[in-house]
Amino acid sequence: MNKREDSFYKKAKRIDQLLSDKFSNSVKTEIFNIIAGDIATTDYFLKKVKSIKWFDPLKASGFFTSQKAPAYKPADQEGYFMIPEWNVLPYLKRVSEQVAQPGNEKYVDELLKIIKDVTAYHIKNNKVLDNYRTWYYFVKILLNLPNDKISLDIIELIPIWLDSKFGTILQGVEITTKLLPKFLTDNPEDIRKAEKIIDYITAFKPVPLSEERAKLLGKKEENKLVIDSHWLKEAFKKHSEVIGEKCTVKVVEDLAKKIQNLLKSEENETYYSFYNERERHITEPLEMLTFILKRVLLAKAKYDAANTGVILKQFIEDKYFYFPQMAIYIMGQNMDKYRDLCWEILKSEKGDLLMEKTLYFGDELKHLLENLQSLTDEQRKILNKKIMKASKKYDFKEDVERYTALSKQEIYRALSHDEYFKRLYDEMKKITNVDTELHPAVGKVETTSGPGPSPLKKEELLPMSNEKLAEYLTTFKTKDSWRGPTVGGLADLLAEIAKEMPE
């Protein structure tokens, strides 16, 4: 051990002894003398100190000033950066864990002042800090403070903490999975804060693309979520129900505005059914916001049917097909609450649109009509008139009778729970000779591996003579490589049989 290491260990041992003693001015003076101008012993002391009584002396000595907060700095390797941890942060977090004890309440305001001052310093100095470790600790500290002490202006600092060129995973996870649920209470003030947090964590921003990717996609930038998509999805899986129950319609309005800013055309994002969850990892902002909006709206319909009904009416009138599609998705699952609204829509010109544009509304319309039970003669008449009118809108170039029948048959299928429409479905089937139903433009994606099924089973192949088998092999061809049967499947089965019966 060299002299420098020996000196450090002696100082560290003395710091441990002094911290085990009762806090006093003499203890404070000796420790400050030990750590003066020595980064290693200062860091050691700040890692070990726990007592809240050290807060005021440390503050008076300038340990918590904004100028002391470290910024990112270049690493030895070009193009890389180091994100140092401010050595006072673990101690400040320990202080936050003690503020609930009688007599310690004043430290709440002290901690909040540090958070505000450092964040303000960062902004005033051209975002000089950009330190996700600092923002991460600030969120950890907030988690330990009383909700009523965390004002809206503190919550409004979150977008600053989520604006980083070095990632937001640390602070993002804490905000999304812990800070948000902290405010999902029955207190209206807490809910206002929760709604702000939801707005911030569902934000996205344009990110420049690499030259290669820009050339591939034909654009210079693309939108990226400010929160890691995995944690965002997990948070809304877990908390959508309580968000729908406790939050106001502002959450839905904010999500809808974000989605409108992402839609590029009236049919954008309508080729897929809202009933089919995409199993792959969601990273695109539009897909993620759809995932969130569906869950929040379903919960809101459950707990606040009246205000949700107002939203659904607005959605139906939107110029983008996405929103009418979302509206009938929600109504289809809540027919007991929105039956009157459903009929109001079906009777209107929007009802014509839904029947005509089944390419965009197919699966949602199917579920809506399937749940439209107990029809009156007048309602049957209205529906069939709409269906007939829609079928005449299609400009079929060939086999007009068959394709017109198919367009009607798909909708009749959804209504075939009613005997009247069941008869009409059967009449159309006599023309088309197939069963059909409403469906999304792009169905659920399926994947397959291997050669596919064999056209013959083992028990069918075994009794065949070699001559007959040879004839079959020369004539069989794969017709559908996706669903089979396939030549590969037949070859694999023959190989299996040959192992068992080489003759």
pLDDT at 478 over 80: no
* Residue 170 pLDDT class (50, 70, 90 cuts): very high
What's the rounded mean pLDDT across residues 249-260?
Answer: 97
Which residue type is seen at 214? Answer: A
449-476 per-position pLDDT tens digit: 556 677 777 777 677 767 667 667 767 6
Calpha distance 383→342 (Å, rounded): 12
* Residue 217 pLDDT class (50, 70, 90 cuts): confident
Question: Sign of the CA dihedral 395, 398, 400, 402?
Answer: negative
The three state secondary structure string of 313-363 is HHHHCCCCCHHHHHHHHHHHCCHHHHHHHHHHHHHCHHHHHHHHCHHHHHH
What is the Cα 74 distance to its own chain's centre? 33
pLDDT at 480 over 90: no
What's the rounded mean pLDDT across residues 238-267?
Answer: 96
Calpha distance 250→232 (Å, rounded): 19
In a domain, 480, yes or no: yes
Residue 417's pLDDT is 96
Q: Which of 150-159, 215-224, 476-485 has the lowest mean pLDDT?
A: 476-485
* Residue 74 pLDDT class (50, 70, 90 cuts): confident
Residue 452's pLDDT is 66
What's the rounded mean pLDDT across residues 107-122?
Answer: 98
What's the rounded mean pLDDT across residues 107-115?
Answer: 98
Calpha distance 29→265 (Å, rounded): 69
Residue 455's pLDDT is 75
Residue matched to tokens 């809808």: 256
Peptide bond into 485 cis (omega under 30): yes
pLDDT at 238 over 90: yes
In a domain, 172, yes or no: no
pTM: 0.85
* Residue 397 pLDDT class (50, 70, 90 cuts): confident
Residue 82, classed as helix, strand or coil, is: strand
In a domain, 469, yes or no: yes
Which residue type is seen at 447? Answer: T
In a domain, 209, yes or no: no
pLDDT at 393 over 70: yes
Among 309, 323, 310, 311, smallest CA distance to 353 is for 323
337-347 per-position pLDDT tens digit: 999 999 999 99
* Residue 79 pLDDT class (50, 70, 90 cuts): confident
Residue 392's pLDDT is 87
Domain count, the chain: 1
Q: Encode 38-77: b = buried (16+ Cβ within 10 Å), e = exposed.
A: eeebbebbbeebeebebbeebeeeebbebeebeebeeeee
In a domain, 481, yes or no: yes
Higher pLDDT, 453 or 134: 134
Among 325, 329, 312, smallest CA distance to 353 is for 325
In a domain, 462, yes or no: yes
Which residue type is seen at 375? Answer: L
Question: Sign of the CA dihedral 160, 166, 171, 172?
Answer: positive
- What 259-266 contacts at long range (C-beta under 8 Å, 24+ apart), as own/partner pairs, is 259/286, 259/289, 259/290, 259/293, 259/322, 260/318, 260/320, 262/204, 262/223, 262/286, 262/289, 263/320, 263/322, 266/319, 266/320, 266/321
Range of the domain at 464: 458-500
Among 426, 425, 435, 429, smallest CA distance to 402 is for 429
In a domain, 478, yes or no: yes
7: burial class by Cβ within 10 Å (0-12, 13-18, 19+)? Answer: middle
Question: Sign of the CA dihedral 489, 493, 498, 503?
Answer: negative
Residue 314's region, left for phi above 0, alpha for psi from -120 to 50, else beta, is alpha
503: burial class by Cβ within 10 Å (0-12, 13-18, 19+)? Answer: exposed
Residue 327's pLDDT is 97
In a domain, 473, yes or no: yes
296-325 per-position pLDDT tens digit: 999 999 999 999 999 999 999 999 999 999
Phi/psi of residue 393, nearest 5 degrees? -80, -25
- What 379-382 contacts at long range (C-beta under 8 Å, 24+ apart), as own/partner pairs, is 379/343, 380/418, 380/420, 380/421, 382/346, 382/347
Calpha distance 162→151 (Å, rounded): 19
Q: What is the CA radius of gyration of the chain?
A: 33
